Amino acid sequence: MITYLLRKILYTLLVLVGVVVVTFFIRPPGDPARVLLGQRADSASVAVMREQLGLDKPLHIQVAKYMINLTKGDLGRSIATNRSVSETIIERLPATALLACTSIVIATILGILLGVIAAWRPNSWIDSVTMSTSLLGISLPAFVVGLLFVLLFGVVLEWFPNSGYVDRGIEYLILPMVTLAIRPMAIIARVTRSSMLDVLGQDYIRTARAKGLSSRTVFIKHALRNALNPVVTTVSAWFAGLLAGTYFIEFIFNWPGIGLAAFNAIEKLDYPMIQGTVLFTAIVFVIVNTAADLVYGFIDPKVRLS
């Protein structure tokens, strides 16, 4: 178990190095100093700016420096606001975390519920309604769902406020949360259904039925438990998509999280800020997935060996 743990963590660190290198190269084409100062800037001030940004050094030194700063938690300064990128991210983390966590919880609960209902009577009308609804959910990108929700529930029906942060009341959380939850929910429902159907075809389910257990006991205790494994993978994998979704959702609902900061940074090509937010999202994703892997290794000895 200890070797498995160490091997896993070492490999994760190796992947993170690659992630940081990729992130380092996220910058607009051309000379960033010139981009910042505008085309009419004289070459002397461009040279000063280059030095300030560390662009005068060879590339591998720049990458190394970026990594060293990173270990100290320094992601550089925003070009647009001149504020520390890591400070901005930490300041905005609670808003994004609230949105992302409530969404994934809702998506998981409802997704599993829908999937189980669909698998309860496969090919019945309940199944087809659930599955076609979830297909629709998969087909709509989060930002379109968000806009349509604003239009329907915010403008036409006036049930919920159009935009704003939750500090003004819990009703501000509902629309962005549901918007963000729809796609993962649809996918979790589909995975749950197919995994349930897989498990229900196994011999031990037949054995349980033959023993005379009620079909509800078989369904919940024997089938659902064993069917949840792929579901957990889906949930942890979809967490990344959800985090990326916050970029758009926070913009649409004017939710002051990391995504909104990133969105504004992209519009201004404020690359240190873009780098910081993208890197942050990737790191969270890697950590969540490694944690999920470790939990598997803990539960299922087979995983440790492979």
Partner 1 sequence: MKQETGESLSRVAWKRLRKNRGAVIGMVVLSVMVLMAITAPWITPFDPTTQILEYSVKPAGFRGSVIYKRNLADESVPSIIAVSSIEERGDTVFYKDPSGEPYRIARSSLLGRAPMEYYSEPLFILGTDRFGRDLFTRLVYGMRVSLSVGLISESIALAIGIFLGALAGYFRGSVDDSIMWLVNVVWSFPTILLVVAFSVILGKGYWQTFVAIGISSWVDIARIVRGQFFSIREQEYVEATRALGYGTMRTIFRHMLPNAAGPIIVLSTAGFATAIIAEASLSFIGLGVQPPTPSWGQMIKDGYGYIALGTNWGMTLFPSMAMAIGVLVLNLFGDGLRDALDPKTSQR
Stretch that binds partner 1, among 87-95, 97-105, 214-222, 276-284 (CB under 8 A): 276-284
Q: Which CB, 122 or 230, lies closer to partner 1?
A: 122
DSSP E strand boundaries for the chain: none
By CB under 8 A, residue 122 contacts partner 1? yes
Q: Is 267 exposed, middle or buried (0-12, 13-18, 19+ CB in 10 A)?
A: exposed
Answer whether 126's CB lies under 8 Å from 117's CB.
yes
CB of 16 to partner 1, least distance (A): 8
Three-class DSSP category at 197: helix
| CA–CA distance, 86 with 261 (Å, rounded to integer) | 12
By CB under 8 A, residue 99 contacts partner 1? no
By CB under 8 A, residue 126 contacts partner 1? no
CB of 44 to partner 1, least distance (A): 27
Q: How far is Cα of residue 41 from the mean position of the Cα atoms in its chain?
A: 40
By CB under 8 A, residue 37 contacts partner 1? no
Return the residue of 51, 56, 171, 267 that touches partner 1, per CB under 8 A: 267
| CA–CA distance, 202 with 192 (Å, rounded to integer) | 16
Q: Which CB, 247 or 255, lies closer to partner 1?
A: 247
By CB under 8 A, residue 171 contacts partner 1? no
Return the residue of 236, 271, 273, 297 that touches partner 1, per CB under 8 A: 271
Return the residue of 80, 106, 140, 228 that touches partner 1, per CB under 8 A: 140
By CB under 8 A, residue 291 contacts partner 1? no
Q: Give the single-character DSSP code of 151.
A: I
By CB under 8 A, residue 172 contacts partner 1? no
CB of 201 to partner 1, least distance (A): 9
Report CA-CA distances (Å) from 85 to 120, 265, 272: 49, 11, 7
Greatest C-alpha distance within the chain: 86
Q: Is 170 exposed, middle or buried (0-12, 13-18, 19+ CB in 10 A)?
A: exposed
Stretch that binds partner 1, among 47-55, 101-109, 142-150, 204-212 (CB under 8 A): 142-150
The site for partner 1, by CB under 8 A, has a size of 50
Answer whether 194's CB lies under 8 Å from 177's CB.
no
Alpha-helical runs (H) found in 72-84: none
By CB under 8 A, residue 151 contacts partner 1? yes
By CB under 8 A, residue 38 contacts partner 1? no
Q: Is 58 exposed, middle or buried (0-12, 13-18, 19+ CB in 10 A)?
A: exposed
Q: Give the single-character DSSP code of 84.
A: B
Q: Which CB, 29 or 212, lies closer to partner 1?
A: 29
Under the rule (CB under 8 A), what is the footprint of partner 1? 14-16, 18-19, 22-23, 25-29, 122-123, 135-136, 138-141, 143-144, 147-148, 150-151, 155-156, 162-163, 194, 197, 240-241, 243-244, 247-248, 252, 263, 266-267, 269, 271, 274, 278, 281-282, 285-286
